[in-house]
Amino acid sequence: MTGNIILKNARVYDPTNKIDGEIMDISMSDGKIVDRFEGKAREIDVKGRVVMAGGVDMHSHIVGSKLGFGRSMCPEDHRKDPVPKTKATRGGVGYTMPNSYVIGYRYSAMGYTTAIEPALPALKGLGSWEELEDVPNLDSGLLPLFCNSMITFNYVKEKDISGLAGYIAWILRKVGGLGVKVVCPGGTYAWAHGSNIRELDTEVPDWGITPREIIRGLCQATEALGLPHMMHLHPLNLGRVGNVKTTIEHLDAIKDIKGHNGRKHICHLTHMSFETLAMHEDEKAKPDWKWVSSGGLEFAEYVNKNDHFTVDMGQITFGPATTMTGDGPFQYTLYQMTKNKWANICVDVEMPGGAGVVPYYFDPKSPANAVQWTIPLEFALSVNDVWRVIMTTDHPNAGPFTKYPLVISWLMSKKQRDTWMEKLHKFATERSTLKDIDREWNLYEIAISTRAAPAKIMGLPNKGHLGVGADADVTVYDLDPNKVNLADDPERIIKVFGQSYLTFMRGQQVAKKGIVGKTPHGKVWSVHAELNDSLWNRINKELEDMMNRWYAHSFHNYPVPERYREHMEKAILVDSTGVAA
């Protein structure tokens, strides 16, 4: 086990424990934060530098078949960013889709210690576990997709919430998943027919059910089970001008669902920048890109009035990105628009449907991209409760995670936003209120949005904070906030958050000044929802029948074998025996 370490004179930002820049000592022993320990300790005087819990990225595509497809399809991407091996680290490639090792190293060098893969096609779970074996320096977790599976549809059609809950519990246990992901519910299934669904009440082909019933069913089942993480939602109608309306309709549709044990939040809406496009007010306006405007403010007002969900940004960062989603029809539309190369992967979303991958370049001179850039910033700077706003880039969709320091600089510095706005197409100022927003996030708010809140939303109580008993994932940033006004010095923000001064993972120092020195393997968090015997037996029987009928491989070969999991998996036990059979 790791030895004792004490960080002296740390300026601590730990919002979970309401610590806002106090000077204190942080002690680590045996991989945990402790208040005291026995024996000797390595003392590190950090001299008033900023100390936070290790960063938690709750939405980043770090493993899985669509990422593999993107990597394989785009060698030109990696070529620009070779990463030589060192004594401590393997060689690899970087850029928008780093290889698995480099993903771990680069997060670690920035002070992140946890990253969640938010789109697992459950039937390809084995492949993702194999990949996680090669992602060092990070704790992780996988969110299986449930939204376009015929098994989900079957239970929704039967109005059988217990059956749906049983199916979710079975999948989470058998493939090692952490929560429920929903992508373009019903729309991706329609893609097997070459079509899409954009409205909540359009019937899903072959099934006679609607996306409204699907999201309500999955949300109810998630709450019935009491899963730590709420339904993680990518709604219909992604990337369409005026879709802020559709997104609000989704959230209204589940508003009445009671949270488990009275919890407030029953949904996490992901990468809002793609889902809150408004339409410019003009009598000629139509839902095409010419008429796009920011829906960030409108959506912030909705968030401020409605308390049943949380949001991550999916901030566009300009430059190259690789779009990859389980939203096959959207990816096809993007391909038709850009004529870039296009991959479709149809086994990805259970049986039918299709993920897609399209490389994309976010261009500052593009009117649409300029407006898209303003949306999440306008939103984040207008929301009252920062605990509900998570900083992400939906890596690598809106840009790689290595652009986080830049995003932080936009959030913390009006000066930086103004500088960038000058470089952008004029729509950035004409079709958004961002230029009029003076708010600047402080370090406490950054700590909320990049570690405390995402850990809480993901249901990982040992992550994202520095209280006694937390995992000793700790980041020291090379900054004494008393000596510099960050808002006036955006380049400094980028530097500080680009390379941590020190990163500790479970009490072990893994990186120093951006150089990775140790490469321990993190844990993969999953949920084991215990069902009562009669529901468990019923589900096994029904799933055997449905999987053998609808899949092209056996029910018996569906689970990810223990040998690929047991040395990494950390299952959170949930008592769901109360769900009726």
Site of interaction with other proteins (CB under 8 A)? 63, 65, 67-69, 71-76, 78-79, 82-85, 90-93, 97-101, 123-127, 130-131, 133-134, 150, 191-194, 206, 332, 335, 340-347, 351-352, 357-358, 549-554, 556-557, 560-561, 563-564
Helix (H, G, I), strand (E, B) or coil at 556: helix
Min CB(543)–other proteins separation in Å: 15
The DSSP element (H or E) to which 416 belongs, if any, is helix 414-423
| Rg from Cα positions in the chain | 23
Min CB(124)–other proteins separation in Å: 6
What pairing do the DSSP bridges indicate for beta strands 112-120 and 139-144?
parallel
- Closest to other proteins by CB, 18 or 563: 563
Min CB(404)–other proteins separation in Å: 21
- Closest to other proteins by CB, 419 or 554: 554
Min CB(140)–other proteins separation in Å: 14
- Closest to other proteins by CB, 304 or 548: 548
- Closest to other proteins by CB, 340 or 519: 340
Min CB(415)–other proteins separation in Å: 37
| Residue that is written with structure tokens 């799933």 in the block | 543
C-alpha to C-alpha distance for 52 and 450, rounded to whole angstroms: 10
Min CB(179)–other proteins separation in Å: 21
Min CB(353)–other proteins separation in Å: 8
Triad 469, 88, 455: Cα angle to 5°: 30
What pairing do the DSSP bridges indicate for beta strands 19-29 and 32-34?
antiparallel
HSE (side-chain half, CA atoms, 13 Å) at 139: 29
C-alpha to C-alpha distance for 470 and 455, rounded to whole angstroms: 11
- Closest to other proteins by CB, 220 or 331: 331
- Closest to other proteins by CB, 187 or 490: 187
C-alpha to C-alpha distance for 405 and 501, rounded to whole angstroms: 14
The DSSP element (H or E) to which 12 belongs, if any, is strand 5-14
- Closest to other proteins by CB, 42 or 85: 85
Min CB(322)–other proteins separation in Å: 12
> Token pair of 250, please?
């989704």
Min CB(486)–other proteins separation in Å: 34
What DSSP line would sit under 501-535, residue for residue?
SEEEETTEEEEETTEE-------EEEEEEEPPHHH
Min CB(347)–other proteins separation in Å: 3
Alpha helices by DSSP H, listed for 64-160, are 65-73, 75-79, 100-110, 125-132, 150-157
- Closest to other proteins by CB, 335 or 410: 335
Min CB(127)–other proteins separation in Å: 4
- Closest to other proteins by CB, 196 or 526: 196
- Closest to other proteins by CB, 82 or 578: 82
Q: CB neighbours (10 Å) of residue 563? A: 8
> Token pair of 328, please?
């096959």
Contacts 24+ apart (CB under 8 A), 87-91: 88/516, 88/517, 88/518, 88/519, 89/516, 89/519
- Closest to other proteins by CB, 536 or 551: 551
Whether residue 320 contacts residue 80, with contact meaning beta carbons closer than 8 Å, is answered with: no
Whether residue 517 contacts residue 511, with contact meaning beta carbons closer than 8 Å, is answered with: yes
- Closest to other proteins by CB, 96 or 432: 96
The DSSP element (H or E) to which 301 belongs, if any, is helix 296-305
Min CB(341)–other proteins separation in Å: 4
Cβ burial of 555 (10 Å; 0-12, 13-18, 19+) is: middle
